[in-house]
Structure 1
Amino acid sequence: MIQVRELTLWFNEHEHPTINKLSFDLRSGETMLLLGPSGSGKSTLTCCLNGIYPRELDGEIAGDIHIFGTSIQDTKPGEMSKHVGVVFQDPESQFCMLTVEDEIAFGLENIGTPRDKIATKIDGVLQMVGLTAYKEANIHSLSGGQKQKLALACILALEPDFVILDEPTANLDPLAKQAFIQTMKHIQEDKKIGLIVIEHQLDGWVSFIERAFILSKAGHGVFDGSLTEAITKHADLFQLEGIALPSITELALQACDNNQAAFSKIPFTYEDFTTHMSYLDQTFLETTAKKSCALEPIIEVHNVKLSKKKQKILRDITFSWAGPSFIAVTGANGSGKTSLTRLLAGIEFPSAGNIYVNNRSINQWKQKELRQQIGYVFQNPEHQFITDRVFDEIAYTLRLRAYPEATVQEKVHQTLASCQLQGMENRHPYTLSQGQKRRLSVATMIVDEQNILFLDEPTFGQDAASTRELMHLLAARYKNGTTIIMVTHDMDLVDKYANRVVVLKNGEIVADETPTQLWERPHLSKWNLDYPTRIKLKRHMEGSHVCITK
């Protein structure tokens, strides 16, 4: 169905090709994981496969792609999208209409679907992705995860031969992620559609995707074959390129590196772990309690409510957070996590109730003073870019506060290195990959050393190496006295870094405790959460009556 031959692509302002001499074939109905570090060209390749490039390319392209024998360079605008549907990393970039129903209908009307069949198709795809209750909802009112589902529904309604999913679960809560993967598995098996999945988190996908194509940092194809072979025989390649392995594999390799375990074969499922384990130190599955160094109240909230267009977003929120702390805010998609943090940061204002920052009502702070206390990294990094150069973006607040230029230069270069953005100083922020944009958005906030730092899904779109560097950076900031408040669905990050976790459901706080206390609760699925890998493995081994030796 798809033939890629010696595909090389340059953007005008880049010194080196983004993708370099890629060649592969895809048969009808085949599934493949497209893996690689941030900036390796995965999303660029996607734009080539559905015909956006070379037509809209500000650069050059060599080689060719054929879809059903037709070169992408010989097709009319939009022709390839009938065969290859794409759910982009940023779903908002592909929406045209105001409501959920109209958005799905838009694509159907464009391909000439009979009017009497449109309503049935809309209902069918909404049921597939679990958005039936949001049929008449305004798109801007949806959570990030719900927008991801809507983008998928729009593509599925067109019944393409091939679907490309660009990080489809990055914004989904743990239960929704599992459900989404199972949905795609059933759709792929039922419709026999081809499927390419670009992911940084492999858990769940390994259950039914057999093939892996791996890109290097330089955009070369460095592996094409069985995912099982890639994991069991080339785990070093994953680590070299900063690509995440399945979480259970990462845990096993970490234990081996610490001389706390030995395996006859690298595991990538829980069953493999117990089957191939020859030794495991019993202390490995325990965790060291993370002591809080909180000294005094830094944020206090009393009876805060938030409503928009008669819809209740937050209900009677009351708490007191002492600082410095490392706080994780989690919960189901649409539970109010982002809305809460935007209120606490003074970006939005509550419908009722009071918020205090450093014992002072947030209403009494001047915005300029408040920004010196609070930094906020948005879920969509493009929402906070205001300059034309990466360097100037990071330097902006430093210059606003009249730092000497020598200090600005030093701080910016240190931050560029910390966020792995060296060499991109003169790039326009919008030309970066999604992962690079995310790191830039974090860099703009950490450079100014505010006392309170909010981050809304900071590891979204990040490869394994970038995630590790970012989290080490945040951990260091916390140890130096910064309060970190991180919205995340990644329970492994919560387990490893947070000393306090706040769970929201339907706009209410249903848990506010340490991670250890949360893992002791019997049914986290009622809040659309899951347990971290360490806890799930421990329970799996206990249930399997596996002896843990020391």
Structure 2
Amino acid sequence: MNEGTKTPFLGCERVSVQFFDRETPVLKEMSVQIEEKESVLLLGPSGSGKSTLAQVLSGIIPRSIEAWMKGNVYRPERVGVMFQDPDAQFCMLTVEDEIAFSLENRRVPPAQMRGEIQRLMREVRLDLPLNKQIAELSGGLKQRLALACLLALEPDVLFFDEPTAQLDPENTRLVLQDIAQLRGEKTLVVIEHKLESVMEWIDRVLLFGPDGSLQGTGKPEDVLRDHAQAIRDYGIWTPRMWPVTWEELLRDPQHELAQRLQSTPPAPNPVDKTEPLLEVRELRMSYRGGANVWSDVNVSVQPGEWVAVMGPNGAGKSTFLKAVGGLLPVSGGQVLLKGKELGKYKPEALYDRVGFVFQNPEHQFIADTVYEEVAFGGKLARWPQEQVERETTQLLADFHLEALASKNPFTLSQGQKRRLSVAGMLLKNQELLLLDEPTFGQDAATTRELVERIRERNENGTTVMMATHDVELVAETASRVLVFAEHGLLFDGTPQELFTQPDLLARAALIEPLAYEYRRRQAAQEEGSVYA
């Protein structure tokens, strides 16, 4: 670390930050120093101030986000920030124009731009036509384009705020690989829940407590070891395996992790197979230009099923949920709910039966306060005031939102916004609940609680259809999986059937859950196979 009177390369001294609608600071007397070309991971539970610190260090607070702040901040002149949602930072229509916009900010001569753009695209493995429309890119390609745009600015520091939150496993691997290659060249400040491919190249971890205080700092292995109990108490995600190796696990079946991986997943709830709740017949969805997103999709969902919808970025998972939820007109085919076409339902009757949680929580917020957002459905249904208050208060407690009841939903952290979006949809006991990436951006404790709330509804008869990239979540909860890839429905079956087909997983940009990989490796070892 920098010593004496030398100004640190990047850091802050006794910084406190409080947003104007909050009674308490998000950060309290925070002092941090980051060395040039150091790679630092900000680790902590949802709402602990990780993003706020990154915004302070990068200058977004107070330059673009208004907040009360005191203390000193040091940073180099050129910084770049990559957010969860790459669309939030794009301002042009095509790949070439977006990267050129960054080069223009550096006053690169027009004659040199084409060569620079092509070099940057090669650097992040973006093999696309220069005139490709950004709107047509998958989430993974958008994030790699965002990285190319940041590198075009030649920043001294790069901030990454959960850059893989919305990506499938394969694109997660590629994006983290691109970021890892910058280690030693740039100063990297990373916020990330998917730690398996991060810990190997991180120099230092800053551990946050729920109150916005710094609880510890050090090498990744030291922080995970020395603060293990606090990390469990705070509900922070930890790596699936690291620093444990497959060799260790296979050599010692009594290892704590090996014992956990050998446990049998819970059996799915029994379902009523008499009459389908939802039927999809020859469904087709096309882009405006005529190309199919997917076609010839036939699905029948029974009451009480928990159906996971999976596949690579851009395969049409969210589109499928919106189609069966009546939010998006289809190009062909039929969707029937309880034997009746969606188009024949009045909107209020349809949404008494179907609830939808959007991938972007902000797309469903309509009230001025957190309390009113949760209570809205009950008031719209003209429930008695006592019932609205009772049910709303219980949901706020279940999702740890009581202290935020009077706050505007748009001022919450990303994790808090996600919890609010799910809580608002759980107020009414709809027969079908459609969830688009319900757990992304959540810490481990909140994810467990959120899943438990959904599981309770499922056990009481609610049919759940959930789009997700989280293979561990699917293995734990789903009774059935639909996999969209290659412009169609590639797979329809149980998680056990899906996760034992490596070729199919590769085609869908998915990976095995850890327990499945352990059992496969264990069986291969017993047969005398050698793993590279």
**TM-score bucket (shorter structure):** over 0.9
CA distance in 1, matches of 2:501, 2:13: 53
Aligned counterpart, 2:56? 48
Distance 1:64-1:272 versus aligned 2 partners, 3 A rule: farther
What does residue range 299-338 of structure 1 map to in structure 2 within 5 Å? 299-310=278-289, 311-338=291-318
User: After superposition, where does 1:174-189 map in structure 2 within 5 Å?
Assistant: 174-189=169-184
Is residue 17 of structure 1 aligned with residue 25 of structure 2? yes
Q: How far did 1:66 drift?
A: 1.0
Matches within 5 A, 1:104-143: 104-133=99-128, 135-143=130-138
Matched-pair contact (CA < 8 Å) for 2:45–2:210: yes
Q: Tell me, what secondary structure is at the counterpart of 1:347?
A: coil
Does the 8 A contact of 1:231 with 1:268 survive in 2? no
Deviation at 1:169, TM superposition (A): 1.0
Match of 2:95 in 1: 100
Distance 1:473 1:27 in 2: 43
**Alpha carbons of 1:115 and 1:380: their partners in 2 closer, same or farther (altered >3 Å)?**
same
Structure 2 regions of 5+ residues with no counterpart? 1-8
Task: Give the match for residue 536 of structure 1.
Answer: 517
**1:293-341 C-alpha deviation (Å, 9 max, x unpaired):** 2433111111111112223212211121112100100011111111111
Please give the secondary structure, in 1, of the residue aligned with 2:183.
helix
- State the Cα distance separating 1:230 from its structure 2 match: 1.6
* Distance in 1 (alpha carbons) for counterparts of 2:219 and 2:329: 52
Contact preservation (8 Å) 2:11, 2:57: no
User: What is the distance in 2 between the residues matched to 1:32 and 1:53?
Assistant: 20
- Shift of residue 36 of structure 1? 1.0
Aligned length: 515
Q: Write the distance in 1 (CA, Å) between the matches of 2:126 and 2:295.
A: 23
Rounded to whole Å, the distance in 2 between the matches of 1:161 and 1:231 is 28
TM-score by length of 1: 0.89
Residue 43 (structure 2) aligns with: 35
Q: 1:482 to 1:132 in 2, by over 3 A?
A: same
Kindly state the Cα deviation for residue 355 of structure 1 after the two structures are TM-superposed. Answer: 1.0
* 1:202-239 C-alpha deviation (Å, 9 max, x unpaired): 11111211311011111101011010112233221211
- Residue 422 of structure 1 deviates from its aligned partner by 1.4
Aligned residues of 1:292 and 1:499 also touching (Cα < 8 A) = no
Residue 54 of structure 1: how far off its partner (Å): 2.2
Equivalent residue in structure 1 for 2:262, among 265, 268, 284: 284
Residues 388, 429 of structure 1: 8 Å contact kept? yes
Corresponding residue for residue 494 of structure 1: 474
Write the deviation string for residues 104-136 of structure 1: whole angstroms up to 9, x where unpaired.
222221221111222223223333444432643
The reply to whether residue 366 of structure 1 matches residue 346 of structure 2 is yes
Kept after mapping to 2: 8 A contact 1:123/1:132: no
What SS is found at the alignment partner of 1:539? helix
- 1:270 paired residue among 230, 238, 246: 246
Q: Is the 8 A contact 2:253 2:259 kept in 1?
A: no
CA shift at 1:492, angstroms? 0.3
Question: Which amino acid letter does the alignment assign opposite residue 45 of structure 1?
Answer: L
Deviates more, 1:391-400 or 1:57-66: 57-66
Q: What fraction of aligned residue pairs are identical, expressed as a percent?
A: 38
Structure 2 residue identity aligned to 1:199: E
C-alpha distance in 2 between matches for 1:277 and 1:232 = 22
In structure 1, distance between residues paired with 2:79 and 2:524: 44
* Cα separation, 2, equivalents of 1:276 and 1:7: 47
1:73 paired residue number: none
Counterpart of 2:276, as a letter, is: P
Q: Distance in 1 between matches of 2:426 and 2:113?
A: 48
- For 2:259 and 2:396, locate their aligned partners in 1 and report how far apart those are by CA, in whole Å: 39
Of 60, 65, 69 in structure 1, the residue corresponding to residue 73 of structure 2 is 65
Partner of 1:485: 465
> Deviation of residue 519 (structure 1)?
1.6
Query: What secondary structure sits across from 2:60 in the alignment?
Result: coil
Displacement after TM superposition at 1:59 (Å): 2.7
What TM-score do the two structures reach when normalised by structure 2? 0.92
Distance 1:540 1:233, change over 3 A: farther
Give 2:499's match in structure 1, choosing from 507, 519, 528.
519
Inter-partner Cα distance in structure 2 for 1:452 and 1:124: 48
Q: Which residue of 2 aligns with 1:392?
A: 372
How far off is 1:545 after superposition? 5.0
Moved more, 313-322 or 280-289: 280-289
Matched, 1:446 2:426: yes
For 2:240 and 2:259, the matched residues in 1 are separated by 19
Q: Is residue 2:201 matched to residue 1:208?
A: yes
Secondary structure in 2 aligned to 1:53? helix
Deviation at 1:543, TM superposition (A): 4.2
Aligned 8 A contact 1:174 1:489 in 2: yes
Q: CA RMSD in A?
A: 2.1
Contact 1:377 1:455 survives alignment (8 Å): yes
Distance 1:31 1:112, change over 3 A: same
Letter in 1 for 2:156: D
Per the alignment, residue 191 of structure 2 pairs with 198
CA offset at residue 97 of structure 1? 2.0
Which of the numbers 138, 162, 167 marks the counterpart of 1:167?
A: 162
Q: Greater CA deviation, 123-132 or 481-490? A: 123-132
1:2, 1:67 within 8 Å by CA — same for their partners in 2?
Answer: yes
Per the alignment, do residues 142 and 202 of structure 1 end up closer, same or farther by CA in structure 2, a change over 3 Å counting? same
* Letter of the structure 2 residue corresponding to residue 248 of structure 1: M
Does the C-alpha gap of structure 1 residues 283 and 212 become closer, same or farther in structure 2, counting only changes over 3 Å?
closer
Instruction: Give 1:37 deviation, angstroms.
Output: 0.9
Taking structure 1 as reference, are residues 461 and 179 closer, same or farther at Cα in structure 2, changes over 3 Å only? same
Q: How far 1:248 sits from its partner (Å)?
A: 3.0
Q: Secondary structure at the match of 2:277?
A: strand
Indicate the larger mover: 268-277 or 41-50: 268-277
Q: Is the 8 A contact 1:49 1:84 kept in 2?
A: no
SS in 1 for 2:402: coil
The answer as to whether partners of 2:369 and 2:407 remain within 8 angstroms in 1 is: yes
Q: Distance in 1 between matches of 2:304 and 2:382?
A: 27
Q: Distance in 2 between matches of 1:545 and 1:194?
A: 45
Equivalent in the alignment of 2:5: none
Is 1:240 matched with 2:221? no
- Residues 161-211 of structure 1 show CA distances to partners (whole Å, capped at 9, x for unaligned) of 11111101111111111122222222335xx11111101221111121131
The one-letter amino acid paired with 1:166 is: D
Q: Retained in 2: the 8 A contact 1:89–1:434?
A: no
- 1:281 shift after superposition: 5.1
> How far apart in 2 are the matches of 1:546 and 1:130?
38
Residues 51/322 of structure 1: CA separation in 2 closer, same or farther (3 Å cut): same
Distance (Å, rounded) in 1 between the aligned partners of 2:516 and 2:112:
48
Q: Post-superposition shift, 1:407? A: 0.9
1:375 match: secondary structure: strand
Q: Give 1:270 deviation, angstroms.
A: 3.3
